[in-house]
Structure 1
Amino acid sequence: MTRYSAAELRQLKAEDTGRPFDLAGKLDVPEAALVAAEVGHGTIRIEAAPGRLIPAVQALGEVMALTRNRSCVIEKVGTYNNFHDGDHAAMTLDPEIDLRFFPSQMVHAFAVEVAGDKGVRRSVQVFDAAGDAVHKIHLRETSDLGAWEALKRDLALADQGDEIEFAARKPVEPAKAAADQAAALREEWAAMTDTHQFNGLMRRLKMNRLGAYRIAGAPWAQPLAVEAVPQLFERLLAEGVQVMFFVGNMGCIEIHSGPIHSVKPMGPWINVMDPRFNLHLRGDHVAEVWLVEKPTKRGAALSVEAFDAEGMLIFQCFGMREEKGGDAAAWDALARSLPQLVEVAA
């Protein structure tokens, strides 16, 4: 990791017109270091714990919530409502701003103000111990600026230093499976009554999601061709099927529920540019796609899930539940008709 002073980082940022995420990669520094460098120059270090942060964010009113991993970005406009705190996991449950937080990953947070041609841009930015972005909240024209001032005042940390020591980034865990546990995996998988039981099953059998998919076999996990991803978006747009689209990282998962109204490919990117929902996916990062079925009390939960070449989960797409307005039969037909992976014989 390259070391720069805060003053050097401020100068490099001023000279760059791209995204901070891309600049951080070029400079070999954590993205949070670029934000911390602006402390005292329009940026304040604030408390990161969701139990303190999210109630203050709710008072802002309408904002834009952004969560990303290195291959996919999701942006939703709305208000942070119905917040539930917890030591292991916290959440907001709103039709538009639907989030799952993992507090142990929310380590550094900043209230950021940047002057621009169109006025001051204001945001809350949260990062993990390695300085990678967990979640960002961007204020809009209608956001409550009185609540913004209160957030800065009430959550400001005593330490307002502009240089932070970051932990080393943990590598992505590759697919982990135990072939001798394949029968047990299938037996316990078939006995599930809720999708949330899957993580416990993985812990018991000492596997992870991708490793389990590779050995579970039909009907539980079937490999799809990578071409299934652009086709998924095209079919969702054409057929109007309502879905739940999950995008996240180790600290936050953001969920879009509903239809998709636009798909705009641009180079390697697949973009959804709806009025209150944007999504940007690097289609060229997709290395594995799986059609996954999990039994529940309500019936089968069917998902399409994409992973990158290192085994990182990029996104999950489920059909919207019927009680929320979804059409289970339409989603089932769409998902099962996506192109399957065809093994080429040597």
Structure 2
Amino acid sequence: MLDAKEIREARTHKAGRARDIAQALGLPEAALVAAQVGHDAVALRPHPNDLIPALGALGPMMALTRNDACVIEKDGEYTDYHGGDHATMTLNEGIDLRMFPRHWVHAFAVSEQVKSGLRHSVQVFDAAGDAVHKAYLRDGADMAAWTRLQSDLALPAQTDTLALKDREPPEGARINLDKRDILLKEWARLTDTHQFLRLCAKLKMNRLGAYRIAEPPFVRPLAPSAVDTMLRAIQVAGFEIMLFVGNRGCIEIHTGPLRRIEPMGPWVNVLDPDFNLHLRGDKVAEVWQVEKPTQRGPAVSVEAFDADGVLILQAFGVPKEGKDTRTAFTEIVNGLPTQETTA
């Protein structure tokens, strides 16, 4: 493996996004960033309880969360933070996050020269060195608060080398056929969508495993192309939806309309002024229409997975008081093609 000096030298000869450069060098992305410590990066305390309040003091930011198939970017501020040891969140219309601190293992304040000038960010990685979340300063950000963040959260030992662990393999679909009847019976009794994962855990299966052994009206398998079809139908209809995109350490949520959708090769891109989504359509392997009972009526979602069974994104109608779009969303979803009807 390259040492920090060799990584810095190699990076000067490569252009492009850090993730792509790291892959080309055969490195975890965190190792690429850590090599800049002492130059244009500062190693920080990584827990959200430390980072997010400090980000909240910066003002306008762009929040970025990704998995291997999808990237979500939202403009806003890191306000209304709710801390904790096992799960934390921000709750506002701009930057809406669900964070899981055990995966926030390495963090850095980064100042790098790009074509548009000097770009400042906080970047968080998991134990294997994969990106969990990134926060970029926007015009108007408080630079005095940026200086304080680096000073207040800097680790005592600033090293350009990381001790990284092996990446955890994808779980795939965890199925317990012996519990299928119990699953369906208890599924019908749900009163809140958040109860579903607890039910799956109790029955020793996971989300995808439950979908694969369930039946209508709870699930319907959709064609992989259904995600693109759904996004374009929502754009035309002009109503708000909720999109959840994330990884093991962070889920980022967009609530709002989809205004501009542009394809580029395998990518489906939503390019709105305060919200971008970049989806690799060719990595969508499995899509499900899912219905869960709630006290406010059925909650319908469209959920996409990659070939390893990793969740890429989820889409829901917006259940807000006075502008509930769940019915309109369900009508679009009901018209999406099933997997069986595609060639």
TM-score (norm 1): 0.97
CA contact (8 A) 2:82 2:88 kept: yes
CA distance in 2, matches of 1:82, 1:259: 23
SS in structure 2 of the partner of residue 154 of structure 1: helix
Whole-Å separation in 2 of the counterparts to 1:157 and 1:329:
50
Write out the 4+ residue segments of structure 1 that deviate beyond 3 Å after TM superposition.
Answer: none
Q: Deviations over 1:272-320 (max 9, x none)?
A: 0000000000000000000000111111110000000010000000001
- Pairing partner for 1:330 from 309, 323, 328: 328
Q: Which residue of 2 aligns with 1:183?
A: 181
Contact 2:316/2:326 (<8 A) preserved: no
How far apart are the structure 2 equivalents of 1:94 and 1:202?
29
Whole-Å Cα distance in 2 between the matches of residues 9 and 209 of structure 1? 39
Matches within 5 A, 1:78-157: 78-157=76-155
Gaps of 5+ in 1: none
Structure 1 pair 99/180, CA: closer, same or farther in 2 (3 Å)?
Answer: same
Matched-pair contact (CA < 8 Å) for 2:86–2:101 = yes
Structure 2 equivalent of residue 305 of structure 1: 303
**Is the 8 Å Cα contact of residues 44 and 112 (structure 1) preserved in structure 2?**
yes
Any residues of structure 2 matched to 1:185-224 within 5 Å, and which? Answer: 185-224=183-222
Distance apart, 1:109 and its partner CA: 0.2
What SS is found at the alignment partner of 1:342?
Answer: helix
SS of match in other structure, 2:12:
helix
Q: 1:89 offset after TM fit, Å?
A: 0.3
Asked if structure 2 preserves the Cα contact closer than 8 Å seen for 1:241 and 1:326, the reply is no
How many Å apart are 1:241 and its aligned residue? Answer: 2.3
Cα distance in structure 2, aligned partners of 1:125 and 1:325: 36
Q: CA deviation at 1:209?
A: 0.7
Given the superposition, is the C-alpha separation of residues 324 and 13 from structure 1 closer, same or farther in structure 2, using an over 3 Å criterion? Answer: farther
Decide whether aligned partners of structure 1 residues 324 and 75 sit closer, same or farther in structure 2, where only a CA change above 3 A counts: farther
Structure 2 counterpart of 1:169, from 167, 170, 193 = 167
Deviation at 1:240, TM superposition (A): 1.0
SS in 1 for 2:321: helix
1:329 Cα offset (Å) = 1.6
Structure 2 contact 15–21 (Cα < 8 Å) conserved:
no
Aligned-residue identity in percent: 54
Quote the Cα distance in structure 2 between the aligned partners of 1:81 and 1:115.
Answer: 28
Superposed CA RMSD: 1.2
Query: Does the CA contact (< 8 Å) of 1:322 and 1:328 recur in 2?
Result: no
Are the structure 2 counterparts of residues 77 and 324 from structure 1 closer, same or farther at C-alpha, using a change threshold of 3 Å? Answer: farther
Q: Partners of 2:75 and 2:322 in 1: how far apart?
A: 19
What is the one-letter code of the residue matched to 1:178? N
After TM superposition, list the pairs within 5 Å mapping 1:234-245 onto structure 2: 234-245=232-243
Q: CA 1:343–1:117 in 2, change beyond 3 Å: closer, same or farther?
A: closer
The 1:324/1:35 distance shift into structure 2, 3 A limit, reads farther
Cα distance in 1 for residues equivalent to 2:287 and 2:239:
20
- 8 A Cα contact 2:87 2:100, kept in partner: yes
Q: What secondary structure is seen at the aligned counterpart in 2 of 1:250? A: coil
Q: How much does 1:118 deviate?
A: 3.0
Change (3 A) 1:67 1:316: same
1:7 is the counterpart of 2:5:
yes
Alpha carbons of structure 1 residues 189 and 35: separation in structure 2 relative to 1, 3 Å: same
Q: Number of aligned pairs?
A: 343
- The TM-score normalised by the length of structure 2 is 0.98
What is the aligned counterpart of 1:51 among 45, 49, 70? 49
Per the alignment, residue 60 of structure 2 pairs with: 62
| Partner SS, residue 167 of structure 1 | coil
1:269 touches 1:283 (CA, 8 Å); kept in 2?
yes
